[in-house]
Structure 1
Amino acid sequence: MTDSSSAKAKTGVEGLDDILSGGLSRGHVFLLEGAPGSGKTTIALQFLLEGASIGERCLYITLSETEEELRDSALSHGKDIGDQVEIFELVPPESLLDADQQQSLLYSSDLELGETTKLIFEAFERVRPHRVVIDSLSEIRLLAQSSLRYRRQILAMKHFFSRSDATVLLLDDMTSEAMDKTVHSVVHGVIHLEQLAPDYGSERRRLRVLKYRGQAFRGGCHDFIIKTGGVAVFPRLRAVEHRSGFERSSLASGISAFDALLGGGIARGSSTLLIGPAGTGKSLFALQFVEAAIRRGERAAIFIFDEELGLLFSRTKEMGLDLEDLRDKGLIHIEQLDAAELSPGEFAQRVRDRVTSFDAKTVVIDSINGYQAAMPEENALILHMHELLQYLNRQGANTFITVAQHGLVGDMKSPVDVTYLADTVILLRYFEAEGRVRRAISVIKKRTGQHEDTIREYMIGSNGLTLGEPLSGFQGILRGVPVLVGDRQSLLQTLDEDGANS
């Protein structure tokens, strides 16, 4: 029983059908183009095997690769073509290879092009397939020798296939010197693959639908990877398409002084940015909310770009937070990411999967500095972060992102300004007092309610985080070298008491 009656032929490529609004329209000819190594053959095999899985007859006509190479390619992804797909390896007729049989009155290209087309049509008539792949058009373009003959040949093939209601995928490796766009105007749709080579790290691949007649599709560039099992595409995230209902309640961190600074806590479905120089404890403040979420019976997802997981487990365990045990119990998902090997689209998809399948209500991204390394440009980072944060907010998840500023005290700069994207911004600072380096925290922005406008000192000790009373006797703390404006003795006594409580 086949599914040929449905309007769309699913591609079998994870994420691609979503971009194509369900798949390829049946009975039409499509072009899949890209440089060698971009993944065309893998997608084509997935397309045919998807059809074979629902009982459709499938034909792969190859002018460039041998049947053995195609079968080996499929096996490398754990797929055995077997007799599911008919492979027709088109080779020149023996008469064209025999010098004694060469014609002197006709160009050999005339014979070869006509013979090649004839063999393609004969193979089609013999199999009568529902799905066809022709690999590749570059061979036909070379035989045609002129743009006019090439266009006529493609039109002839299109009309021939249209009479049989077959869905045809033409592959083009774009190796011709002149970038002929003839096929673009003839086919029903065009999918373009490209492969980027960053200065460091593995190659990045992305996909774009250039054309799809009579059909809305998800425009723009979409990251994809080639993994064992085939191609996986990560559709570009659009937060406006995802909305869920939830109650906007206030969530506490579990540290009374910290909650007071935040005006009672943070709102559910909001994003919080923790910004400050290295070593100020940004990750610890974020993990404080993870611990609070676990106590509420919720799950959390933590994505680490910068720190080695073993070291993180060790130092948090000393403070009474056993992340490794929580992970083993299935209460948190924690993942260390390599920015050099990860595209922005793949990262967004991983976060979405944790929210939908793992039901994570607290998400920590540590840090934006590492995330930025996965971006080709800063502008792309801002757009990706905007969509990701909006998506998480609409799912009722609380997001905590950290940014390490350049410098330690005084005039510090951030690698990228994302403060306007976050609903709450928490600023961490070093300051010097009486020959000691101390830490200060303040909330400089909160969209979802009131908060203290004070600056509090905080300590990091064996018991975790401890916040002191507001520092009202200093001026210039955020610059790093404050000036004493209050009573010296009482202020120093307050600082000492805070230090002793830690």
Structure 2
Amino acid sequence: MAQGEAVRDEVRQGGAAQGEAVGPERLATGIAGLDEIVQGGLIRRGIYLVGGRPGTGKTTLANHMAFNHAAAGGNAIFATVLAETHGRMLTHLSGFAFFDAEQVANRVHYVSIYDQLNQEGLRGVLDLLRRQVREHRATLLAIDGAGLFGEFAASPLEYRRFAYELHAQLGSLGCTVLLLMEYEAQDQNPIAAHVDGIIVLEDEHAGLRDTRILHVLKLRGSNYLRGRHSFEITGTGVEVYPRLEALLTDASTPHPPVRRDRKATGVAGLDDMLRGGVLVTSSTLVLGALGAGKTVTGLHFIVEGARRGERGLIVSFNEPPPRLIAKADAIGLDLGGHVANGTVKILWRPPQELLMDAWGRDLLAFVAEHEPRRLFLDAVTDLQRLASFADRLPAFLAALTAELRARDVTSLLAAEFNTLLGDDLDVPVPAVASTAENVVLLRYVELRSQLHRLISILKVRESDYDTSIREFLITPDGIDVAGSFESAEAVLTGVTRQVAARSGGQGARTRGQAAP
């Protein structure tokens, strides 16, 4: 069902069907993501404070709601106190997809209330709004610049009494009210206690980047997704992206029964170490230094599935589809053929200015459409750069992988660490490593001015695995893992002797320099 149709049905039908559990009637905002945060919409006949500094999107949000409401068959009024002229406002709104000029003065009505406020005070405003709501049979009223009401009140008590009467009188007429004003989460406003809900719009600054934030502080009579959620103002209007870990506290589909069957990675030696492959629907983190073979491992995993008739999805931030296909072709993997026949899809998004929750929403929509059985994410460290708050990445990925598991997807995630050589591994996302079922480590060791690649398994949940370290090569035929640990042992033994020799030689030179 289209979004407008869903809103229209909600406006027309109102409450629950006979025999269903009856809750408060909702007024759907029709704004993607926002209705999910407020559990289906605002409670009808309520009064809500929409706050934020100038430029945070209050006017756009309320107008978007008004036109959605009109498209669904409702009537809305947008009242202004001291704001831009209605003509200028409509010119600015005309660039949004939600704007419909035919609805203006038909179902969306614009009213200036400043003269009434200046001449007759709060009582005159209340009388005017009551007449307008009755005349237009409005079920949604937005008041832009409502913060000025406090300056026309003789006392805080009068200001509160006005808010109470506005709510009582317009609510009795079936109208839901939005009060748009400058307001921040820490502000003490006398009417904050009298409104049914508070929604605050903010700008979050992180370096040179600004992120729009929507924060529901209060929603009387209803549950809602707590915390801060990102949003954008685009050509379609306001788009809100609930935090994935808040939205997916429970997987959207029942978890499949625990299965002990495995999926081969396509790397023969690694599958031997894993006792046949990774468990179905598990998540595997492949940790490695730059160029160690993380992407190549992921390509093996996806192409192996495609070869077995399983749909696959590659999610890439840096390498677009042509480069991935060329890389696979260079190691003998026919990724291009599987992409051409539709078995494998590639979702590529450059990471610049990308919102993490918007990306997560698009990814899950793509998974729902394509229904892959295997997914390769390249890479978690690129995703980390999208997070305005880096410490939420483990919770985000835990929610994402749990949802993928519930959708019968086996996932492999690459992550790059900063250490190129040496035993000290700087794992960029240690908490993520603890939530993945399986962790594979790819690293370099230098011996006699030559780099050797080593592979080992750090963790496999609920399964036995080979704990040895093995050497591997990336050849024109793909990844070739040594059949035993002997070559890796020889490399590591040589490294140990090399380090000892260097340390001994340095010590002798130091002592020699100190001798008389």
Instruction: Please state whether the residue corresponding to 2:62 is helix, strand or coil.
Output: helix
Q: Which residue of 1 aligns with 2:234?
A: 227
Contact kept? 1:28, 1:165, Cα under 8 Å: no
Return closer, same or farther for 1:359/1:12 CA change in 2, 3 Å cut-off: same
Distance 2:61 2:494 in 1: 56
Distance 2:160 2:255 in 1: 53
Contact kept? 1:130, 1:167, Cα under 8 Å: yes
Contact kept? 1:92, 1:112, Cα under 8 Å: no
Q: Which residue of 2 aligns with 1:412?
A: 425
Which aligned pairs between 1:165-176 and structure 2 lie closer than 5 A?
165-174=174-183
Of 256, 271, 283 in structure 2, the residue corresponding to residue 259 of structure 1 is 271
Does 1:69 find its partner at 2:88? yes
Distance 2:373 2:417 in 1: 27
Contact kept? 2:303, 2:335, Cα under 8 Å: no
Q: Deviations for 1:324-366, whole angstroms, at most 9, x for unmatched residues?
A: 5544543333233343412222222122212222212222222
Return closer, same or farther for 1:288/1:357 CA change in 2, 3 Å cut-off: same
Distance 1:131 1:458 in 2: 66
Instruction: Please state whether the residue corresponding to 1:403 is helix, strand or coil.
Output: strand
Instruction: Please state whether the residue corresponding to 2:333 is helix, strand or coil.
Output: coil
Which aligned pairs between 1:332-481 and structure 2 lie closer than 5 A?
332-410=344-422, 411-417=424-430, 418-433=432-447, 435-472=449-486, 474-475=488-489, 481=495
Which aligned pairs between 1:252-291 and structure 2 lie closer than 5 A?
252-291=264-303
Of 19, 26, 29 in structure 2, the residue corresponding to residue 11 of structure 1 is 29
Return closer, same or farther for 1:208/1:333 CA change in 2, 3 Å cut-off: farther
Contact kept? 2:56, 2:201, Cα under 8 Å: yes
Look up the equivalent residue of 1:62 and give its one-letter code: T
Which aligned pairs between 1:23-422 and structure 2 lie closer than 5 A?
23-63=41-81, 64-78=83-97, 79-83=99-103, 84-90=106-112, 92-93=114-115, 111-144=120-153, 146-174=155-183, 179-201=187-209, 203-237=210-244, 238-246=248-256, 248=259, 249-323=261-335, 326-410=338-422, 411-417=424-430, 418-422=432-436
Return closer, same or farther for 1:35/1:263 CA change in 2, 3 Å cut-off: same
Contact kept? 1:299, 1:362, Cα under 8 Å: yes
Q: Deviations for 1:172-214, whole angstroms, at most 9, x for unmatched residues?
A: 23399x934222211112222222122133x212222211222
Look up the equivalent residue of 2:193 and give its one-letter code: S
Contact kept? 2:379, 2:413, Cα under 8 Å: yes
Distance 1:241 1:254 in 2: 29
Distance 2:493 2:125 in 1: 76
Distance 1:306 1:86 in 2: 45
- Shift in Å at residue 62 of structure 1? 2.1
TM value normalised by structure 1: 0.85
Distance 1:209 1:424 in 2: 37
Return closer, same or farther for 1:128/1:384 CA change in 2, 3 Å cut-off: same
Instruction: Between 357-366 and 328-337, report the one with greater CA deviation.
Output: 328-337
Look up the equivalent residue of 1:90 and give its one-letter code: S
Return closer, same or farther for 1:478/1:224 CA change in 2, 3 Å cut-off: farther
Instruction: Between 151-160 and 304-313, report the one with greater CA deviation.
Output: 304-313
- Shift in Å at residue 290 of structure 1? 0.9
Q: Which residue of 1 aligns with 2:502?
A: none
Look up the equivalent residue of 1:209 and give its one-letter code: V
Distance 2:76 2:464 in 1: 64
- Shift in Å at residue 482 of structure 1? 5.1
Distance 2:281 2:329 in 1: 28
Return closer, same or farther for 1:478/1:244 CA change in 2, 3 Å cut-off: farther
Instruction: Please state whether the residue corresponding to 2:482 is helix, strand or coil.
Output: strand
Q: Which residue of 2 aligns with 1:493?
A: none
- Shift in Å at residue 319 of structure 1? 2.4
Instruction: Please state whether the residue corresponding to 1:30 is helix, strand or coil.
Output: strand
Q: Deviations for 1:341-398, whole angstroms, at most 9, x for unmatched residues?
A: 1222222212221222221222222222211112234322222222222222232212
Instruction: Between 32-41 and 428-437, report the one with greater CA deviation.
Output: 428-437
Look up the equivalent residue of 1:358 and give its one-letter code: H
Look up the equivalent residue of 1:60 and give its one-letter code: F
Q: Deviations for 1:213-250, whole angstroms, at most 9, x for unmatched residues?
A: 22122222222222221222222232424343436221
Distance 2:214 2:334 in 1: 41
Q: Deviations for 1:55-101, whole angstroms, at most 9, x for unmatched residues?
A: 222222122233223323432122214235332231544xx9xxxxx
Distance 1:322 1:205 in 2: 42
Q: Deviations for 1:106-139, whole angstroms, at most 9, x for unmatched residues?
A: xx96744444444333322321212211112123
Look up the equivalent residue of 1:85 and give its one-letter code: R
- Shift in Å at residue 419 of structure 1? 1.6
Gaps of 5+ in 1: 97-107, 485-502
Instruction: Please state whether the residue corresponding to 2:250 is helix, strand or coil.
Output: helix
Instruction: Please state whether the residue corresponding to 1:376 is helix, strand or coil.
Output: coil
Distance 1:324 1:13 in 2: 39
Contact kept? 1:355, 1:361, Cα under 8 Å: no
RMSD in angstroms over aligned alpha carbons?
2.8
- Shift in Å at residue 11 of structure 1? 0.6
Distance 1:175 1:429 in 2: 49
Distance 1:421 1:334 in 2: 25
Aligned length: 469
Return closer, same or farther for 1:428/1:48 CA change in 2, 3 Å cut-off: same
TM value normalised by structure 2: 0.83
Instruction: Please state whether the residue corresponding to 1:283 is helix, strand or coil.
Output: helix
Instruction: Please state whether the residue corresponding to 1:88 is helix, strand or coil.
Output: strand
Contact kept? 1:239, 1:391, Cα under 8 Å: no
